[in-house]
Amino acid sequence: MSTLRTVTDADFAAEVLAAGRPVLVEFTATWCVPCRQLAPVLERVAEEHADELDVVAVAVDTSPEAVARYAVLSTPTTFLFRDGEPVRSVVGALSKRRLLRALDLTPRD
């Protein structure tokens, strides 16, 4: 079962900005090969950190407001939001360990 949820412009504020805990947001596209490579990594992060972190995906082709607001120029771009603000970001597909380090999250082996 997937623990990675999809968020759109319509529910971005409620699901990400007003979340009561950190949210990892991936800006993605179905045509993006690196996005497809990152998908299983994000699924593992979502499962392993389910008690402390939400992980969501935003499709760049159908959520132009969020894309513009956060100046997303490449996919995948991943942001870590805390208290409604982006605190870290990374561009590209990374291994789980490198993604967690880049976002300053504790790696779990």
Residue 69 belongs to some domain of the structure: yes
pLDDT digits over 7-30, tens only? Answer: 999 999 999 999 999 999 999 999
| pLDDT tens digits along 44-98 | 999 999 999 999 999 999 999 999 999 999 999 999 999 999 999 999 999 999 9
Does residue 42 lie within any of the structural domains? Answer: yes
* Domain range for 69: 5-102
Question: Which of left, alpha, beta for 92 (phi over 0: left; psi -120 to 50: alpha)?
Answer: left
Note if the pTM is more than 0.75: yes
pLDDT of the residue at 1: 42
**Residues acting as catalytic residues:** 32, 35
Q: Is residue 88 part of a domain?
A: yes
Count of H helices and E strands in the chain? 4, 5
Whether 7 contacts 16, CB under 8 Å: yes
Is 109 inside a domain boundary? no
**Which CATH number belongs to the domain containing residue 91 in this structure?**
3.40.30.10
Number of domains in the chain: 1
107 occurs within a structural domain: no
C-alpha to C-alpha distance for 76 and 57, rounded to whole angstroms = 10
